[in-house]
């Protein structure tokens, strides 16, 4: 996922870019409004994080210009302005969410995930070996037979199918399944994977889920090993 971060506090901006990189977000940083407008003309982003207190123009004006020029990506307003009127103005100008400084990084990342899910285009059917998965309704089948997955099991399978043959860490599963820090339970990932393995075996699928100690899990099939 590609993010444009518009933040004039250079120390904060570089720190956020490093933190978001740990979650596999590619983040480009600009420090003023004109640079933000130019960046959006030259490239497309999945999300824009916008500070309002910019040195060359007010962030709300930047937001209005971006929307007027056709920006469709969700915009998360990140600012020290926390009054109700400021929040209302930000949302009315075209913002999709509003987070006041100071903020906790886990909350920022949860809001990013929520906005990216909300703005993501509908995914098409995914097939890996004999497993067919419909992302829109979380339906999975093997040889035409329904796997009857729970919501959590479907989310685990969906994440593995987006990275076939690649390792998916426990932290990536946790981020996929839980939006809020107080809900996160990494131990449950093993339970969901175990159930998913059993259902794949019962359906006589050739697909297997391999555990790599200390790394995570990988979806495999004979022709991909």
Other beta carbons less than 10 A from residue 95's beta carbon: 22
Percentage of the chain exceeding pLDDT 70:
93
Domain boundaries, the chain: 2-119, 126-220
How does DSSP classify residue 83? S
Domain 126-220 sits in CATH at 1.10.10.10
Whole-number pLDDT of residue 225 = 44
Predicted confidence (pLDDT) at residue 120 exceeds the cutoff of 80: no
d(CA 12, CA 58): 19
Across the chain, mean pLDDT equals: 86
| 176 has pLDDT over 80 | no
The pLDDT-based confidence of 144 (bands split at 50, 70, 90) is: confident
Please answer whether residues 150 and 143 qualify as being in contact, where contact means their C-beta atoms are separated by less than 8 angstroms: no
The answer to whether 103 touches 78, Cβ cutoff 8 Å, is: yes
Neighbouring C-beta atoms of residue 43, cutoff 10 Å: 10
Cβ atoms of 219 and 161 within 8 Å: the answer is: yes
Same fold flag, 2-119 and 126-220: no
Element holding 216 (H helix, E strand): strand 216-220
Compute the average pLDDT of residues 23-29: 90
State the pLDDT at residue 23: 84
Indicate whether 207 pLDDT > 60.
yes
pLDDT in tens, 49-66: 999 999 999 999 999 999
Q: Residue 80: which pLDDT band, with cuts at 50, 70 and 90?
A: confident
**CB burial string 156-191: b at 16+ within 10 A, e below:** bbbbbbbebeeebebebbbbbbbbeeeeeeeeebee
Q: Closest Cα partner for 178 from 201, 155, 202, 199?
A: 155
| Confidence at residue 172, expressed as pLDDT on a 0 to 100 scale | 83
Cα angle, residue 123 at apex, residues 121 and 127 outer, rounded to 5°: 165
- Domain 2-119, CATH: 3.40.50.2300
φ, ψ dihedrals at 218, nearest 5°: -140, 135
111 has a pLDDT exceeding 70? yes
Q: What is the dihedral of CA 29, 31, 32, 37, to 10 degrees?
A: -10
112: Cα separation from own chain's centroid: 6
């Amino acid at each position: 996922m590609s993010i444009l971060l518009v933040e004039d506090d250079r120390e904060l901006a570089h720190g956020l870019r490093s933190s978001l990189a740990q979650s596999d977000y590619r983040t480009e940083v600009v420090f003023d409004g004109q640079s933000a407008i130019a960046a959006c003309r030259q490239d497309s982003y999945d999300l824009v994080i916008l500070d309002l207190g910019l040195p060359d123009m007010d962030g709300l004006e930047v937001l209005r210009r971006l929307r007027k020029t056709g920006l469709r990506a969700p915009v998360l307003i990140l600012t020290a302005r926390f009054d109700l009127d400021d929040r209302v103005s930000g949302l009315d100008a075209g913002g999709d969410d509003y987070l006041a400084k100071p903020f906790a990084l886990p909350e920022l990342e949860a809001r990013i995930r929520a906005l990216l899910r909300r703005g993501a285009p509908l995914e098409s059917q995914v097939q890996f070996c004999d497993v067919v998965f419909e992302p829109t309704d979380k339906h999975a089948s093997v040889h035409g037979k329904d796997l009857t997955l729970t919501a959590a099991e479907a989310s685990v399978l969906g994440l593995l199918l987006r990275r076939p043959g690649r390792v998916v860490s426990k932290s990536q599963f946790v981020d996929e399944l839980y939006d809020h820090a107080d809900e996160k339970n990494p131990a449950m990932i093993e339970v969901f994977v175990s159930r998913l393995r059993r259902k794949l075996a019962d359906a006589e699928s050739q697909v297997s889920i391999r555990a790599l100690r200390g790394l995570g899990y990988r979806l495999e099939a004979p022709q991909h090993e």
